[in-house]
Amino acid sequence: MLSSVPKQGKGDTAPTEETELTVNTTNRVGKSIEWIDIGVEGLQDFIPGLPKGDAILVRGEPGTGKTILCLQFLHKGVEQGEKCVYVTTEETPDTIARTGEILWSDFPTLVREEKIVIVNLSITTMYADKYSLVLDKDAVVETIREGLDRQPDASRVVIDSLSSLQRRLDDPSDFREVFMSLLLEGKKRGATVVMTAEGIPVNPDITEYLVDHLIYLDYHKHDVIWTRVFVLRKSRSVPVHPQILKLNIEKEGLSVEEIPISLKPVWFASKLR
Ligand SMILES: Nc1ncnc2c1ncn2[C@@H]1O[C@H](COP(=O)(O)OP(=O)(O)O)[C@@H](O)[C@H]1O
Ligand SMILES: [Mg+2]
């Protein structure tokens, strides 16, 4: 839901000292910001949303939930009457639709009705015939622009993933140019853009510095327990506390909650505030 009023803490229980602090902080700032719900269930208990029109980069190892986050972001948009574009550089449109359908039965209809337009830059035979496996930077930007033109009112755009684009562009400077063009294109159109990339790098690169928000999805093992975590690593204009949340992937997609005390391992403690 688009809203200018930040949501309050979980449930209707009397606010604790902590929830009151959170609410006061979020009320003080961002009155003029149009906050959007990116669709991750429970996130609204910790932040007022993310500013509409911003660029968000989601990073993580394979299987950490990047693609599901993208699908959920768009599904939430459509639920609110928005138009969306999904640029896939890795999975085929078929597997995107298949994963979407498992999570939400209406997903294929949304694609059929072009509420979600899928732009195919995956390595399918058809695409490879047309452009070859090594991508040409101008062709990439042009194909994405054409896709965006098919959905001129798109307010939510996904590019999943940048890493696959990077691998298939010959020259690192080509990738930087494509990335900058996509960033500017999103800003020009006023669309909120979610991009994904593989892994959590030791040394951040240009993509991490230039986006407005950086989300890390991670998977930690403690004794025999694996815990998924959601980290709002960087978030311009957003009061965020805590930055690290427990992530769940379930039937309805991603949800977050505070990390239970029982799961706060010693080696991780310094990061948990
Ligand atoms: N319906 C579901 N219920 C629970 N877990 C799921 C469901 N669908 C997918 N998953 C899990 O979510 C993981 C994340 O998938 P995905 O978003 O494709 O990861 P990534 O894009 O980061 O590689 C999958 O590897 C799988 O373990
Ligand atoms: Mg993926």
Kindly report, residue by residue over 31-55, the tens digit of the pLDDT: 789 999 999 999 999 999 999 999 9
Give 178 Cα–ligand 1 centroid separation in angstroms: 28
Spell out the domains of the chain, with CATH numbers in brackets.
32-216 (3.40.50.300)
- Alpha carbon of 159 to those of 121, 203, 245, 250: distances in Å? 10, 22, 24, 23
- Cβ atoms 263, 246 nearer than 8 A: yes
Q: Please state, as a whole number, how many other Cβ atoms lie within 10 Å of the Cβ of residue 20.
A: 13
Q: Please state, as a whole number, how many other Cβ atoms lie within 10 Å of the Cβ of residue 97.
A: 20
Is there an atom of ligand 1 within 6 Å of 228 CB? no
Give 67 Cα–ligand 1 centroid separation in angstroms: 8
- Cβ atoms 46, 22 nearer than 8 A: yes
Q: What is the C-alpha to C-alpha distance for residues 146 and 127, in angstroms, rounded to an integer?
A: 15
Q: Could you report the per-residue pLDDT of 183-199, keeping only the tens digit for each?
A: 999 999 999 999 999 99
Of the bound ligands, which one is closest to the alpha carbon of residue 159? 2
- Enter the pTM of the model: 0.85
Taking the CA of residue 64 as reference, the ligand 1 atom at the shortest distance is 22
Residue 198, SS3?
Answer: strand
Bridge partners of 197? Answer: 59
Bridge partners of 120? Answer: 88
pLDDT of residue 124: 72
Residue in the block written with tokens 């063009």: 181
Residue 160, SS3?
Answer: strand
Is there an atom of ligand 1 within 6 Å of 81 CB? no
Q: Could you report the per-residue pLDDT of 196-248, keeping only the tens digit for each?
A: 999 999 999 999 999 999 999 998 877 777 889 999 999 999 987 888 999 99
Q: What is the C-alpha to C-alpha distance for residues 38 and 17, in angstroms, rounded to an integer?
A: 27
Q: Could you report the per-residue pLDDT of 74-99, keeping only the tens digit for each?
A: 999 999 999 999 999 989 999 999 99
